C-alpha cells in the first residue's frame, strides 16, 4: 500500500511540474494515450450568463468557479492527449437566440448541453458544479452519476476516489445516483457524472474554491479519475 501511495504522490507532483512547464512554454503536448483516442470528454461548466448558480457569502457566483475549474480540466486532459469539448467557454448561456424569457433560456440551455453530450456515442460527460447548504460546516467533493449506464457509476467512483486520495484525505463522502432533479444525468444516454467540487456555503472551503492553485489541483484530481476510468475500458 505504501509504494502505491508514493507512486500516486509522485504522479501528482510530476504532473503539476510538467503542466506548468507546458504552460510556460506554450507548447502543450498532444501525445496520445494508446488506444484511448476514441473518447471525447465533454466538460460542462455548470450555469452561465443570467443563471449564476449558488452564490457564496462574498458574492462570487458558482458559475465563475465552475468555468475556472472547467478550463483547467480541459487544459490538463488535452495535455495528456485526450479529446475534449467544452459546453461553454465564457460567461454566457448557450441557449438559442429565439429564447426570450429566463425560463425559456434555461430550458433551451439545458437541452443544448444535452445535445452536445449525446452527439457521439463515445462522449464522456463531466459536469462541474459547486454545492451550497444551510449548514455552513458541510464540505467536500461529491460525485453524482447517471442512473442509466453502469459506466457512469464506475466513472463517478474513479473521480471520487481520486479527489479523496489526492486532495481531500478526510473526505468520507461517497458517490450518489442522480435523481430527476439533475436533468442532464437523469436523462443521459451516455456515461455522465456531475462533480460537486465543494461547498461555497463553507467559508473555508469557498476560499479554496476561489483560489487558482486549488482549482488546478481539483482539476488534476478529476482528470486523474477520468484517466483511471478510461484505462478500465481496455482491461
Residue with cell 439545458: 110
Helix (H, G, I), strand (E, B) or coil at 58: coil
Give the three cell numbers for residue 234. Answer: 481496455
Chain centroid to CA 135: 24
Q: Phi, psi (5° rounding) for residue 144? A: -105, 150
Give the three cell numbers for residue 3. Answer: 509504494
Which residue ranges make up each domain of the chain? 2-232
What class, spelled out in words, does domain 2-232 have in CATH? alpha beta
Q: Contact 130/62 with Cβ under 8 angstroms?
A: yes
Q: Which of 144, 225, 133 is nearest to 184 (CA)?
A: 144
Q: Which pTM was predicted?
A: 0.85
Residue with cell 503539476: 16
How do the pLDDT tens digits run along the chain, 235 residues long? 444 444 454 555 545 544 443 443 333 333 345 454 689 999 999 999 999 999 998 999 999 999 999 999 999 999 999 999 999 999 999 999 898 898 999 999 999 999 999 999 999 999 999 999 999 999 999 999 999 999 999 999 999 999 999 999 999 999 999 999 999 999 999 999 999 999 999 999 999 999 999 999 999 999 999 999 999 886 5
Amino acid at each position: 500500500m505504501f509504494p502505491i501511495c508514493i507512486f500516486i504522490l509522485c504522479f501528482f507532483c510530476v504532473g503539476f511540474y510538467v503542466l506548468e512547464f507546458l504552460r510556460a512554454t506554450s507548447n502543450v503536448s498532444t501525445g496520445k494515450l494508446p488506444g484511448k483516442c476514441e473518447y471525447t470528454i465533454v466538460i460542462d461548466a455548470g450555469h452561465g450568463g443570467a443563471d449564476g448558480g449558488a452564490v457564496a457569502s462574498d458574492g462570487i457566483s458558482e458559475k465563475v468557479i465552475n468555468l475556472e475549474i472547467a478550463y483547467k480540466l480541459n487544459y490538463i486532459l488535452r495535455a495528456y492527449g485526450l479529446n475534449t469539448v467544452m459546453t461553454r467557454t465564457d460567461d454566457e448561456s448557450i441557449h438559442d437566440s429565439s429564447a426570450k424569457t429566463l425560463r425559456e433560456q434555461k430550458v433551451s440551455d439545458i437541452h443544448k448541453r444535452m445535445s452536445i453530450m449525446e452527439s457521439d456515442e463515445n462522449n464522456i460527460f463531466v459536469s462541474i458544479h459547486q454545492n451550497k447548504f444551510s449548514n455552513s460546516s458541510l464540505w467536500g467533493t461529491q460525485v453524482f452519476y447517471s442512473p442509466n449506464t453502469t459506466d457512469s457509476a464506475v466513472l463517478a467512483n474513479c473521480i471520487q476516489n481520486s479527489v479523496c486520495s489526492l486532495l481531500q484525505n478526510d473526505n468520507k463522502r461517497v458517490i450518489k445516483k442522480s435523481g430527476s432533479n439533475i436533468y442532464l444525468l437523469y436523462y443521459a444516454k451516455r456515461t455522465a457524472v456531475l462533480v460537486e467540487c465543494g461547498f461555497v456555503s463553507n467559508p473555508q472551503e469557498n476560499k479554496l474554491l476561489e483560489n487558482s492553485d486549488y482549482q488546478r489541483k481539483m482539476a488534476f484530481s478529476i482528470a486523474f479519475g477520468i484517466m483511471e476510468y478510461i484505462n478500465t475500458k481496455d482491461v
